[in-house]
């Protein structure tokens, strides 16, 4: 195949940072990215540019649907509680209700295992409480 025939992938750094601001808020973004960049220079920018400025910019799925997919994938992985909590909060910001998020996690139990679904529900419960109070666990 000739690479000239391939459809260019969206990769928009500015759009990635704007979307992350929308999802996580500028304060959360700054705190998270600064700490990560101090540990692994350039990695935070790569994540934002390739994921939020790339994958998220593709047509075909609404932001809400992408968040449902993220909840499912992170629950299935297990052991990624900080990222799952972030995506629970992001899901609330893009319009999913607590009930919908909870139902996504319950629906996953027969597919990913009850222990992973229970762990995800515990994460969601904490994220819901933090969203209610405006707080965020460190």
**What are the extents of the domains in the chain?**
11-59, 62-138
28 compared with 56, residue with greater pLDDT? 56
pLDDT at 74: 98
pLDDT at 94: 94
pLDDT at 136: 54
3 compared with 64, residue with greater pLDDT? 64
4 compared with 43, residue with greater pLDDT? 43
Q: What is the DSSP string of 82-126?
A: HHHHHHHHHHHHTT--HHHHHHHHHHHHHHH-HHHHHHHHHHHHH
How far, in Å, CA of 27 to CA of 30, rounded? 5
62-138 topology per CATH:
AhpD-like (1.20.1290)
pLDDT at 138: 40
pLDDT of 137 strictly over 70: no
pLDDT of 124 strictly over 80: yes
pTM of this structure: 0.88
């Amino acid at each position: 195949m000739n690479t000239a025939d391939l459809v260019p992938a969206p990769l928009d750094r500015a759009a990635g940072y704007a979307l992350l601001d929308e999802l996580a808020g500028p304060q959360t973004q700054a705190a998270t990215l600064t700490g990560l960049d101090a540990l692994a220079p350039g990695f935070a920018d790569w994540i934002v540019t390739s994921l939020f400025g790339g994958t998220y910019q593709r047509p075909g799925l609404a932001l809400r649907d992408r968040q449902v997919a993220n909840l499912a994938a992170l629950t299935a992985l297990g052991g990624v509680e900080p990222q799952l909590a972030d995506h629970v909060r992001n899901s609330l910001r893009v319009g999913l209700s607590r009930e919908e998020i909870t139902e996504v996690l319950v629906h996953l139990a027969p597919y990913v295992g009850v222990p992973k679904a229970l762990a995800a529900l515990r994460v969601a419960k904490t994220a819901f409480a933090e969203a209610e109070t405006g707080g965020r666990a460190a």
